[in-house]
Amino acid sequence: MEALEDVRGVLKVFRDGSIFRLDVSHLFIQANEQTEQGGVATKDVILNQNLGLWVRIYLPSVAPDVRLPVMLYFHGGGFCLASPGTTDFHNFSAKLAATAGVMIVSVNYRLAPEHRLPAAYEDCFSALQWLNSGSESETWVRSYADPEKVYLLGDSAGGNIVHQVILRCGKKAKEWIKGAILLQPFFGGEERKRSEVDCVAEAFLSVQLSDAYWRLSLPSDCHADRDHPYCNPLGPRSPDLREVEFPPLLVALGGKDVLRDRGLEYCEELKKMGKEVDVVLFEEEEHAFYALKLHSDSAQQLTQHISRFLHS
Whose CA is closest to 152, among 51, 47, 246?
A: 246
List phi, psi (to 5°) of 36.
Answer: -70, -15
Whose CA is closest to 204, among 118, 117, 288?
A: 288
The H helix count followed by the E strand count for the chain is 10, 11
SS3 7: strand
Q: Is 137 in the active site?
A: no
Q: Is 65 in the active site?
A: no
Catalytically annotated residue among 75, 90, 163, 287: 287
Radius of gyration for the chain, computed over Cα atoms and rounded to the nearest angstrom: 18
Catalytically annotated residue among 88, 123, 155, 257: 257
Catalytically annotated residue among 83, 156, 195, 210: 156
Contact 193, 261 (CB under 8 A): yes
List strand residue ranges (DSSP E) for the chain, in order: 3-7, 11-14, 19-21, 40-48, 53-60, 68-74, 103-108, 145-155, 179-183, 249-254, 277-282
SS3 264: helix
> How many angstroms separate the CA atoms of 49 and 46, rounded?
6
Burial of 51 (0-12, 13-18, 19+ CB in 10 A): middle
Q: Is 278 in the active site?
A: no
Q: Residue 101: what residue type?
A: G
- Please report, for residues 67, 98, 138, 241, the alpha-carbon distance to residue 102 in angstroms, rounded to integers and kept in the order given: 9, 7, 17, 29
Q: Which residues are designated catalytic?
A: 156, 257, 287
